[in-house]
A = this chain, B = another copy of it.
């Protein structure tokens, strides 16, 4: 029934407002203010639009947009995990799957299924769209940290090899964005805003 569908969709629209309260470790560009997940998701979406031409494989831009817009919604229940957290793994936790089922489950069943599937595709990192979405998800904090004189790299005393290990997934979606990232990260060491070892 249409009216029930709309009611469920509106309940979901209410529920996801909470993403605006989930604070990331990363700060805004040239800023000491933490970014929240809604702002981050918006930024990735616009990045997808303007950087799509640099994807290595053919991508369905609409799917990439859906992916980046919803990829962090599970953090409403599961919380943000810092990329360099050494205790808790960053992805694919049981907690996140439960969160996906609960939150997307507020929607009508067909829509819940579609969005859970897209979120799982993002997590699985295999499709051209997932690889490119992951590229963007790692590339934004690189740009932010560089603009913040080292940002979270400096704040949490992360070394160059550790940064490279975590951001190398950028390469899976775009050789060009990877070349750019690699050069800028190396420069950060030379500039003394990222420690060599």
Contacts and interface: CB of A to CB of B under 8 A. Distances in A.
Interface of A: 2, 5-6, 9-10, 12-14, 16-17, 19-20, 28-30, 35-36, 38-39, 41-43, 45-47, 49-51, 53-54, 61-62, 65-66, 69-70, 107, 111, 140, 143, 147, 176-177, 180
A69 B54 contact: no
Stoichiometry (number of copies): 2
Given A17-B28, A20-B35, A45 B69 contact: yes
A13 B47 contact: yes
Query: A interface, by DSSP: helix, strand, loop or mixed?
Result: helix
Which 10 pairs of residues, A with B, have the shortest CB-CB distance? A42-B42, A17-B29, A38-B39, A62-B62, A38-B42, A9-B50, A20-B39, A65-B65, A41-B42, A45-B69
B46 A16 contact: yes
Contacts of A66: 49
A107 B50 contact: yes
Given A38-B42, A39-B20, A69-B42, A50 B13 contact: yes
Given A10-B143, A66-B49, A176 B2 contact: yes
